Chains A and B, each alone.
Chain A
C-alpha cells in the first residue's frame, strides 16, 4: 500500500532529524519497471531520502553479483536492486535470474564481513511510485541503523 503524496510529505516533515549519518546507497533499477516507478515517484513529488544514487540497467537480471560486491567493498553503505514483479519481466525471466543471484550475493556478503541487510532486492512496477519511495525510505532507515560500511573507514 502506498501513501498519497500529501501524506508522505507530512510524514517526512514530522520525522525527527535525529540521525546525522546519511547513507550512500547504490540503486540499480531496471529500465522497464523500476526506473519508470522511480520516475513516477519523482513526477508525483513523493518525498524520499536523498540517499540513493540510481543506475538504470536494462534488466535486474543483468546485474552480476560482482557489481554488488564491488560496490559494497568499495564503500557504498547499501545496494538496492529493483526489478519488475515476477512474471512481468520485459525479458521473460530476467528478474528470476536476479532472484537466484541475490541468494548467492547474500551468501558471499558474510564472507566479506558485510551485513546481509546492506543488500536488498525489491520488485517495483512502473505504476508503483509511492511503493518505490517507501522502499527507499525503509532501506535507508535500515542502513542508517547499521551505520557506515566497515569498508569505508578502512
Chain B
C-alpha cells in the first residue's frame, strides 16, 4: 500500500518544494510508493471542499505530513493544527519551518510597525490603506512550526538538500527511524586551514578570499580568518552529507541556513565570540542580531528593547 503524503506551505518562497523535485531520478522510485493527497503547489485541492461547501478547513488523513514555511497568520496556525491532527509523522521542511527563516527577520519589529512600514512607511509605496478584507489576521510574530505543534523531524536548509528529503522519505517508507541531525558545527566539518588568528580586517560581503585554482580546500585558509564573514562556528553541519559543507565546497562562506547548534544556542553570542576571539573587530558588523540570526529568527529575534 502506498504511503499517503500531505504537504502544506506557509510563509515560504517555494524553494523547498523545488528541492523535492530536485531529488531527480530517485524521486521516480519514491513516487511509486507514495500517494500525494494534499499539496497546494502541485494540485488543486480546496481546503473548504471542492465547491467550498465546508465551514472548516480540512486536510485528508495522511501517513506523512511535510510543512514548509514559518507560521505567520491565523490561517497558518489553524492549518498546522489540522496537519498535526491528520498526519502520523509530521516533518518541518526547510529552515523557515524549522526556525522561522528569512520571514522571521520581521520579528525584530512588532506586527504593527511592520505593516506600517510595508504598506505606508516606505518611500516608494503609494499608500492605499491597509488590506483588511478577507485576509487572515497576522500573528504577533513569525513562529517556527514546532513552536505551534509538536514536530517529529526536522529537515533544515535554505533550501533543504535533495539528499536529506530523499533519505527521510525512504526511511519512512522502509519503516526505519528518521535520520537524526548532525551534532557537529560547520567548522567541525570544514577542511580549510585554521590558525586561530585573522589576517587583516573584516572584508565587505562580496570581496574575494585568497583562492588557488585547482588546489584542494585543505590547502586554503579559513574564510573567516581572511576577514570574510562565515557563520560556520555557530551553524549546525551536515548539509554536505558526510563530506564538506555545501557552501564551503564552493569556497563560499556559510550563511547559517542549517540553524543554530542547539535549541537553546544563541548564534549572535557565539558568532560575536568567534569573531573577537580571532582578532576581528565585532563593531564592524552593522546589524549583528539579524546577520547572525538570519535563518533562526523565530523565538530569537524580538523587537529592540527600550530602556
Report the nearest A residue to B283, measured CB to CB. Answer: A107
Contact B277 A101 (CB under 8 A): yes
Contact A101:B276 (CB < 8 A) given known A107-B282, A107-B283, A108-B269: yes
Contact B268 A104 (CB under 8 A): no
Among A100, A108, A112, point to the contact of B277 (Cβ < 8 A).
A100
Bound Cα distance from A64 to B271, whole angstroms: 11
Name the B residues within 8 Å of A105 (CB-CB). 272
Name the A residues within 8 Å of B272 (CB-CB). 65, 104-105, 107-108
Contact B276 A65 (CB under 8 A): yes
Contact A101 B273 (CB under 8 A): yes
Name the A residues within 8 Å of B268 (CB-CB). 108, 111
- Chain B: minimal CB distance from A152 (Å): 16
Interface check B162, CB cutoff 8 A: no
Report the nearest A residue to B282, measured CB to CB. Answer: A104
Interface majority SS (helix, strand, loop, mixed), chain B: helix
Interface check B305, CB cutoff 8 A: yes
Total A-B contacts with CB atoms under 8 angstroms apart: 45
Contact A66:B276 (CB < 8 A) given known A103-B283, A111-B288, A113-B307: no
Bound Cα distance from A111 to B281, whole angstroms: 17
Number of A residues, CB within 8 Å of B: 15
Contact A97 B269 (CB under 8 A): no
Which positions 98-121 of chain A face chain B at CB distance < 8 Å? 100-101, 103-105, 107-108, 111-113
Interface check B266, CB cutoff 8 A: yes
Contact A100 B276 (CB under 8 A): yes
Interface check A69, CB cutoff 8 A: yes
- Chain A: minimal CB distance from B111 (Å): 21
- Chain A: minimal CB distance from B227 (Å): 15
- Chain B: minimal CB distance from A105 (Å): 8
Proximity bits, B282-304, A CB within 8 Å = 1, else 0: 11000011000000000000000
Name the A residues within 8 Å of B282 (CB-CB). 103-104, 107
Contact B273 A104 (CB under 8 A): yes
Of residues B266, B269, B288, B307, which shows the largest number of chain A Cβ atoms within 10 Å of its Cβ? B269
Among B266, B281, B289, B307, point to the contact of A66 (Cβ < 8 A).
B266
Name the B residues within 8 Å of A107 (CB-CB). 272, 282-283, 288
Interface residues of B (CB under 8 A from A): 266, 268-270, 272-273, 275-277, 279, 281-283, 288-289, 305, 307
> Apart from A65-B273, A104-B282, A107-B283, what 9 extra A-B contacts exist at CB < 8 Å?
A65-B269, A65-B272, A65-B276, A101-B277, A103-B281, A105-B272, A108-B268, A108-B272, A111-B288
